[in-house]
Chains A and B, each alone.
Chain A
Amino acid sequence: MHPAFSVVFFTTATGAGYGLLALLGVLGGLQVISPDFWLGLIGMGLALGLIVAGLLSSTGHLGRPERAWRAFSQWRSSWLSREGVASVITFIPAGLFGIGWVFLGRTGGWVAIAGLLASIGAVVTVCTTGMIYASLKPIAQWHSRFTLPGYLIFSAMTGSVLLNALLQGFALGSKTVLATCILVTLLGWGWKLATWRYNDRLEIATTANTATGLAGGSVRSLEWPHTEENYLLKEMGFRIARKHSTRLRQITQGLAFALPVLLLAATFALPRPFAAALSLLAAIVQFAGMLVERWLFFAEAKHTVTLYYGR
């Protein structure tokens, strides 16, 4: 599948943003993190900024972005529509929570309820994003039990590493948060490795035989219907990543998982300015790594239409 940058950035940014929003909503509303104007402003600003930037980026993928409002109508059947609805609804409790926690400095009561609802909204939205891909049968690498949990784990991972950077920046870092970040990152690493292992061993039932209805023997493409690449091949016949997949997987593992774990582990032992700097670096490096991971997620996915082209 063609990795359109708008969609790669969209899913990575909103994943991190919703992860951070979910954590702030629960931890802030329940006063695990005490209200602090600047911490709250930067934290909620970062979370909502990532979400809004991602959502705006996703409209760049559209052929007719001015009609994007129509996408809220088909939530009964479409995961994409559900994602749109969930993302917009989540802004309501997130906004209320932001007003209460950041500007009024309150916790508990309605602020806690708004925070909790914002967290639920964030998790639901990430689920709908994951289901857009997991529900597509023609793409076996996505239509698997690894896709939805992957989106949730990576959202929790990038969100918690961002939260740690934020807390360290305000000298509020804790060993619990650090340890959680490391554990979730290791979980993400393990999940990605398991996903790749599953995809590499995938035995896809759909073949050139079933695609053409020609039973038995071999079906070899002799001639395409067109001499140049068409929409189908440009959008779904993307092949560059398969050539470089080993190298790109190494880069993903280094940037998204290994380096952040090392940086976060070093944070344990270091005093404040260094701890904050390393925490911030871990978040940035991980975000870059997740962009590569998401790029690969698209580029390595093989659509059944490529069977018609002998690819």
Chain B
Amino acid sequence: MTCLPSQSGKKLGLVIDLDTCVGCQACVTACKEWNTGGHMAPLTDIDPYGGHVDGVWFNRVHSYEHTTEMGGRTVNFPRSCLHCETPACVTVCPTGASYKRASDGIVLIDEDKCIGCKLCSWACPYGAREFDTDVGVMKKCTLCVDRIYNDNLAEEDRVPACVAACPTSARHFGDLGDPLSAVSQLVAERGGVDLMPELGYRPTNKYLPPRAHTTRAASVAAPALEPVRAEGGFLGWVDRMLSN
């Protein structure tokens, strides 16, 4: 049923630290590797070695230049499903293929019910859903539902593949419905934000903005060279002669 369920209060999701993400794409490849054999498998690639490469990915890392009066910096930005509390991608689904789980808030697709109308991808402002032209159905991040509850894995491995792969611990997984959970406290401490809050989708995933520029640390770069001031006297005469 594509009506949103009444929630249990558990809201599993990710917290992504834009301060420490180095844009290495490890989460992207780890996601692809796990999920192409996982719940929404396959993550089809079209013409993978040709000139028009295309394919389904659940997680994409962009790079941006953020310029403020404090200066500019590069921000690497992983983008995946935010498992929103009011996901329009679910309510627009005409078949009941898209659903939000009452027990933990994960948004999933039942591939056997999807007719591939693509309306859910139009309804998602974040571009989290990608259509598999080969299978003819929509696909999306499952929050590695087949890892996080998987008794066959060691307990420390029961996190989404992207979180397990991140070498800088920029990705955190946990229950954002519990204010005492580690992820909730991290969000509170670092001022985590929602993406596009004005649209009212109430994303579960939070992004930690880059930390403020600091003036405490020593400047790494040498001060810029100053232009030689026109001088008088002998040195000035030499400078003018050599400049000609």
Contacts and interface: CB of A to CB of B under 8 A. Distances in A.
B122 A1 contact: yes
Interface in B16-68: 18, 25, 28, 52-57, 60-68
B136 A213 contact: no
B116 A213 contact: no
Interface string A196-221: 00000000011010111111111111
Interface in B105-133: 113-119, 121-127, 130-133
A25 to B, nearest CB: 26
A90 B19 CA distance: 56
Interface in B45-101: 52-57, 60-69, 74-75, 77, 79, 88, 90-97
B238 interface: no
Contacts of A73: 94-96
Contacts of B62: 221, 223-225, 308-309
Nearest to B138: A63
A138 B123 CA distance: 6
A224 B23 CA distance: 11
Contacts of B199: 137-138, 206, 304
Contacts of B200: 137
A235 B54 CA distance: 13
Given A73-B95, A214-B209, A308 B79 contact: yes
* Interface size bracket, B side: 35 or more
Interface stretch (A28-36, A37-45, A74-82): A74-82
A218 B77 CA distance: 15
A78 B195 contact: no
B54 A212 contact: no
B194 interface: yes
B114 A63 contact: yes
Given A136-B123, A219-B64, A222-B64, A70 B136 contact: no
Interface stretch (A226-234, A247-255, A275-283): A226-234
A44 B153 CA distance: 64
Contacts of A1: 122
B3 interface: yes
Given A73-B94, A78-B93, A137-B200, A217 B136 contact: no
A61 interface: yes
A212 B91 CA distance: 24
A89 to B, nearest CB: 15
B126 A228 contact: no
A62 B196 contact: no
Interface in B182-225: 193-201, 207, 209-210
A305 interface: yes
A239 B65 CA distance: 23
A130 interface: no
A139 B55 CA distance: 24
A273 interface: no
7 contacts: A64-B115, A73-B95, A78-B91, A211-B126, A213-B207, A228-B54, A230-B54
Interface of B: 1-4, 18, 25, 28, 52-57, 60-69, 74-75, 77, 79, 88, 90-97, 113-119, 121-127, 130-133, 135-138, 193-201, 207, 209-210
